[in-house]
Amino acid sequence: MQAIMETLFDIVYLSLVITIGILMIRGSRGNDQFRLFGWMAVILGSGDAFHLVPRAVALCTTGLENYTAALVVGKCVTSITMTIFYVLLYCVWRKRYQVTGHGGLTAAVYILAGLRIVLCLLPQNQWLRADAPLSWGIYRNIPFTLLGLVIIVLFYQAAKKHQDHAFRWMWLTIVLSFAFYIPVVLWSDTMPIIGMLMIPKTCAYVWAVLMGYFAMKQECGQEK
């Protein structure tokens, strides 16, 4: 039952976010923020597919233990593409609220993202082992969490200042995604049931993508 339900959920999720991303890229009508948002969605879905597709195959065939290498490589790829997702979201913030300057802030965002990617690629992570060290799972998520906090604050302040109804809950989608993700990083190895929190985490990202899509439909439609 788990194999069927989880596989169906993953198929719906990946199909939805990638399709919405493509629709946003094609329907942005030259609007840079929505084109970027579309690429965000495509990268989100494509990156997650590296982990979710092998996982679905494993669940529906011989089990997760026989697909360890594919799963951990997919997890590494997903970690990197999620970092790119947040960098693009920062670019969306700049475009949407017409932010100029703030070179220090931009540098901080790119430094945190670069540090996260470098940490993900270090051999100490031992990605190809089923019992990869928890300490490195924590290390590589420190800059990622800080990056998420920066984006949360930026969208919360900007949406409130500009009375941006369409993006007023963008900050909350990120808060929820990290609230569900951090326990998985810390405790899923000792309590596998904690891994179920990845489902509401995924739903938070779907909410963020849909928020961007509906904003595009409304705002680009008005430009006709």
| % of residues, the chain, pLDDT over 70 | 97
Task: Please report, for the domain that includes residue 100, its CATH number.
Answer: 1.20.1070.10
- pLDDT surpasses 80 at 68: no
- Mean pLDDT along residues 147-161: 96
Contacts of 124 (CB under 8 A, 6+ apart): 133, 136
> Is-contact 92 37, C-beta < 8 A?
yes
pLDDT digit string (tens) for 19-50?
999 999 998 888 999 999 999 999 999 999 99
- Mean pLDDT along residues 72-96: 94
- pLDDT surpasses 80 at 184: yes
Distances (CA, A) of 222 to 29, 39, 111, 121, 216: 11, 22, 37, 44, 10
- pLDDT surpasses 80 at 217: yes
State the pTM of this model.
Answer: 0.91
Which runs of E-coded beta strand occur in the chain?
none
**What mean pLDDT value characterizes the chain?**
91
pLDDT digit string (tens) for 110-129?
999 999 999 999 999 888 77
C-alpha closest to that of 45 among 8, 66, 19: 19
C-alpha closest to that of 94 among 47, 150, 142, 45: 150
Specify the residue for token string 């998985």.
184
Distance CA(224)–CA(213), nearest Å, equals: 17
Gyration radius (Cα) of the chain, Å? 18
- pLDDT surpasses 60 at 154: yes
Distance CA(190)–CA(65), nearest Å, equals: 16
User: Can you give the residue range of the structural domain that contains 23?
Assistant: 2-222
- pLDDT surpasses 80 at 134: yes
Contacts of 160 (CB under 8 A, 6+ apart): 168
- pLDDT surpasses 70 at 147: yes
- Mean pLDDT along residues 178-193: 87
- pLDDT surpasses 80 at 189: no
Distance CA(18)–CA(45), nearest Å, equals: 5
Sort residue 29 into left (φ over 0), alpha (ψ -120 to 50) or beta: left
Q: What are phi and psi of 164, to 5 degrees?
A: -85, 95
pLDDT score recorded for residue 224: 46
Distance CA(199)–CA(56), nearest Å, equals: 14
Q: Using pLDDT thresholds of 50, 70 and 90, give the confidence band for residue 67.
A: confident
Of the given ranges (18-32, 72-86, 116-130, 156-170), which has the lowest mean pLDDT? 116-130
* Domain count for the chain: 1
pLDDT score recorded for residue 221: 66
